[in-house]
Structure 1
């Protein structure tokens, strides 16, 4: 390539418009990878993700000023990705592990790219724009399936129950996955409103769309998750309005209150399950968790080896069945899933990475005046609570959000910023 053409290509790939468009494309594909697979299959999905990685690499290379040694991935996340990579040494299914490692590293790299080239408000805007398109398209398909044609779209997981009041699945494939996107949308659209990033009309449409998604998804998981995010958000509102000297005492009190609340929720878990009408979901999950625990006991320290989303034809994943005979593609619990794949070592590293990221995000949200700094902390709460009943944290869009949120928090609170 001629020098002039090379310079022009670098200028184009490093331009704000291309960076914005690429960021929104990455977020959109990551959040609805299920729909992408339904449309083009695994080969097409891998080709799309590989193309995004190549474009992101070229874009990052065109903006060398965006990368510097203090902005690298947090050490806790580096430890997590390192562990899943070296698990190929003891993996019980080597080739599946190779593919799983490449898949996880691709989404991890895309998350790092977004965190490097976009500031926090631009990241929230990208997530908001992607979710508006995803949720709008989901309702278009639901109306087409449940009202106009009155037939399920089984190829994408839509049952066509919109006319009956739900549950709806949209582009997410399941009601719980759609509920998760609805909760993320409420958070992102609210931040957009508070920072005056979009017009009032667009805010009204967006929040109505997100609320309709949560109501019609009828996901008991999303209701509990939203409650946790709401409580955390209210706590942050109180702390952000206090003087610095009063914050420490308030945060200590909140820590104790959170521990007490968690204990009460565990003691009265049966009542909570009844309130949100989740008995059927819990029965399915507990049967899966029982099978997963039996497999964990066989390889408790280092696990069976990383694979990411389960290849259901590979043992031991092929042996897991729910009480209804359904074969899941995950452990329906991120913490149990990583214990199965990476053993107790992986569980400890994941909890440490998640905990450190949340503490940093919480401190940043407490200190900074702009509301946008609340987004990483609440997104991590959303991921951590959802991970008790789903494995989103470890794969695809959930992993991308985890990396970007942890990176955003570390960029403002990392110890490496104190080094010259």
Structure 2
């Protein structure tokens, strides 16, 4: 298997269900709240279980297999830690269920990476996100034009009173937002729009999107970003644009200058990070999020206070906070009387649920993934544009992880596992090439010496293209 085979689908193309299953898997994990709001949690669990089983059957039926050496070790260790936390959990029954969900979402990411090429995975993710955006706009317009009052989740229709924060859609699209879409929350909807933009940009660079499609999906994504007005996602979008600019510059500058570009980029990152810390209050005020950040500070302080009671291994994995459990019911109560549902920070969340051990693992996972994704993009700058997608997606995930906990669950975790596995597959390909490269070192040296004795002649290799050797 070569890097090209990892990037591109098998040739000649054959009829396969894996891309369609990939699209459904990404939709169900990113827009799962819409399904839960329609049919309730129990029915959603049955749909998810059936979908996971069908994905496995299609994966096996089409002859794919998991390359165990490619599996990301640190992600596997974190999943094991979450499962083992049943032993010391303050809520063992809920931890057992959450561990099953964690194993299932991890398996989905692994199966998608092993059953799809990077191009196919990009297309599947893009289609799922595009569908989420379209359905979100349609639902918002229905509530605004037809229903004309906030829409509660359908399984709450029998409730005497629905808390304000539990409403699905408020119907503010014609008033300029903020909108929640089918996911029921403006922040994840904005993040979905950002991921859609990244997928469209990569597919357009690979000449796999027509100009009309580029205009339509880019415009819809930007419209959603404006209507959701998520400060975190706006910052993430700016950073992603900067990363795109960095990779574009690396691709177009001479090889001898690339080290200088890397040094300049690292220096700029450090300087901007220092400036952001120094003018943090002014930056938050500029983004208009002083109140929301104040609430997050209160959540973080409350969660860290609880974490200090179980520092090493945490309270036990639970993924989603369950409001009727005593430990979660009073962390921070909203104005409508409902408790906060997550820590709004992936690292604090990991500390709280899995302790210092789990928090350290998450930091290592993120650092390793960022390093490997950027290393892949830089090593294959002249290859398919798809190789830059892992770096762009990891940039977006990391930026969101500081104000949201979603890195550890559902669609974000599936993408993290899929990219980690795919990067592992690529690493095994590179390791297989090394012995071959060592075996051909002596003939290459002889060729170079022969060429140096005859400056007028250039060795072109079997393909007759000297540019491949220069590159």
So what's the TM-score if we normalise by structure 1? 0.92
- Alpha-carbon contact 1:333-1:389 (below 8 Å) kept: yes
Q: Secondary structure at the match of 1:112?
A: helix
- Alpha-carbon contact 1:114-1:404 (below 8 Å) kept: yes
Q: Report the Cα offset of residue 148 of structure 1.
A: 3.5
Q: Report the Cα offset of residue 51 of structure 1.
A: 1.0
CA distance in 1, matches of 2:77, 2:430: 17
Matches within 5 A, 1:79-118: 79-118=77-116
Counterpart for residue 27 of structure 1 = 26
CA distance in 2, matches of 1:83, 1:254: 36
Q: Deviations over 1:154-209 (max 9, x none)?
A: 22621111121100010121111111111111111111211121222122111111
Counterpart for residue 384 of structure 2 = 370
Counterpart for residue 38 of structure 2 = 39
Q: Report the Cα offset of residue 315 of structure 1.
A: 3.3
- Alpha-carbon contact 1:387-1:393 (below 8 Å) kept: yes
Counterpart for residue 458 of structure 2 = none
List runs of 5+ in structure 2 lacking aligned partners: 1-13, 154-166, 436-471
Say if 1:339 and 1:416 are closer, same or farther in 2 by CA, change over 3 A. farther
Equivalent residue for 1:412, pick from 394, 410, 426: 426
Say if 1:95 and 1:48 are closer, same or farther in 2 by CA, change over 3 A. same
CA distance in 1, matches of 2:293, 2:236: 15
Query: Is 1:124 aligned to residue 157 of structure 2?
Result: no
Pick the structure with greater CA Rg: 2
Q: Deviations over 1:10-30 (max 9, x none)?
A: xxxxx7431111111101111
Counterpart for residue 291 of structure 2 = 280
Q: Report the Cα offset of residue 290 of structure 1.
A: 1.5
Equivalent residue for 1:257, pick from 241, 260, 268: 268
Matches within 5 A, 1:318-333: 318-322=329-333, 324=335, 326-333=338-345
List runs of 5+ in structure 1 lacking aligned partners: 1-14
Q: Deviations over 1:354-411 (max 9, x none)?
A: 1111111101111222211111111111111101111110010111111112222232
Say if 1:17 and 1:337 are closer, same or farther in 2 by CA, change over 3 A. same
CA distance in 2, matches of 1:166, 1:36: 23
Counterpart for residue 389 of structure 1 = 403
Q: Deviations over 1:129-161 (max 9, x none)?
A: 111211111101111112333211122621111
Say if 1:205 and 1:148 are closer, same or farther in 2 by CA, change over 3 A. same
Counterpart for residue 237 of structure 2 = 226
- Alpha-carbon contact 2:203-2:385 (below 8 Å) kept: no
So what's the TM-score if we normalise by structure 2? 0.82
